[in-house]
């Protein structure tokens, strides 16, 4: 019941409301921004949302140590738990993260196709993955076949996949190469404004440049209303 309450109060409910339901199972989404604006925080919020549904999550990182990823989840859980004043927070967190698998791939020797192979191996080992996080995608090193492999995997296994990459510009064309855009059902860009980091929805299914009315909290980096 507490997990359900946290899920109902999750920051992702705000995103879902702003995007007519958000990303669906079987689809892939992308979060972009300049470095240091909060991409990993947003990814972890999407990941935590999967865990709060008692579903298996795989968090793949290319440029962070596993301990740093764990710290992000600990921090996001703590902030969500504060909102609900959870009494048995430590026990609840242990239960939630028991369904999380962290995979660390080297940027020097990786491909998204290799990641998909690993995900398929997890399935063969009995882990029913429902959500995947791909933190640190470098489109300069990613081929269209790589992205297609992820999209095909998501659709076949009915898995929700969120990735993140660095983008210096604020337009859709700055966030993802034109030949790859069609594979992503959602593209979200974190845009530094004068007083806050705006959560700009550049694409959600067949709609583009949707006014989300969302931003990141300056202290917690949680998604909140602008």
Question: What's the confidence (pLDDT) of residue 1?
Answer: 66
d(CA 90, CA 84): 14
Q: How many CA atoms lie within 13 A of 109 on its CB side?
A: 0
Question: What's the confidence (pLDDT) of residue 66?
Answer: 83
Question: Helix, strand, or coil here: 37?
Answer: coil
Q: What are phi and psi for residue 217, nearest 5 degrees?
A: -60, 135
Question: What's the confidence (pLDDT) of residue 84?
Answer: 67
Question: Helix, strand, or coil here: 184?
Answer: coil
The domain segmentation of the chain, as residue ranges, is: 2-225
- Is the confidence at residue 86, as pLDDT, over 80? no
Question: What's the confidence (pLDDT) of residue 203?
Answer: 98
How much is the mean pLDDT over the chain?
A: 93
Quickly name the fold that domain 2-225 has: Rossmann fold (3.40.50)
When pLDDT is averaged across residues 170-175 and rounded to a whole number, the result is 95
The tens digit of pLDDT for each residue in 9-48 reads: 899 999 999 999 999 999 999 999 999 999 999 999 999 9
Question: What's the confidence (pLDDT) of residue 64?
Answer: 64
Of 82-91, 140-149, 150-159, where does mean pLDDT reach its minimum?
Answer: 82-91
When pLDDT is averaged across residues 107-123 and rounded to a whole number, the result is 88
d(CA 135, CA 148): 17
- Is the confidence at residue 161, as pLDDT, over 80? yes
Task: For CA atoms 157, 162, 167, 172, give the dihedral sign.
Answer: positive
pLDDT bucket at 109, cuts 50 / 70 / 90:
confident
Question: What's the confidence (pLDDT) of residue 115?
Answer: 93
Question: What's the confidence (pLDDT) of residue 132?
Answer: 98
């Amino acid at each position: 019941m507490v997990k359900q309450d946290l899920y109902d109060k999750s920051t992702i409910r705000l995103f879902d409301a702003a995007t007519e339901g958000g990303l669906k199972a079987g689809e892939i989404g992308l979060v972009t921004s300049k470095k240091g604006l909060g991409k990993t925080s947003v990814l972890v919020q999407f990941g935590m949302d999967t865990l709060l549904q008692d579903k298996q999550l795989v968090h793949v990182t290319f440029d962070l140590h596993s301990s740093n990823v764990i710290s992000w989840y600990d921090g996001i859980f703590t902030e969500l738990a504060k909102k609900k004043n959870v009494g048995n927070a430590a026990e609840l967190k242990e239960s939630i993260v028991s369904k999380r698998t962290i995979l660390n791939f080297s940027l020097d020797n990786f491909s998204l196709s290799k990641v998909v192979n690993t995900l398929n191996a997890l399935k063969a080992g009995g882990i029913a993955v429902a959500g995947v996080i791909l933190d640190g995608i470098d489109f300069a090193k990613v081929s269209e076949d790589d992205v297609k492999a992820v999209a095909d995997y998501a659709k076949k296994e009915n898995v929700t996949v969120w990735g993140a990459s660095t983008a210096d510009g604020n337009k859709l064309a700055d966030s993802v190469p034109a030949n790859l855009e069609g594979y992503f059902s959602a593209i979200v860009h974190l845009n530094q404004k004068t007083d806050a980091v705006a959560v700009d929805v550049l694409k959600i299914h067949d709609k583009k440049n949707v006014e989300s009315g969302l931003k990141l909290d300056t202290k917690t980096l949680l998604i909140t209303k602008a």
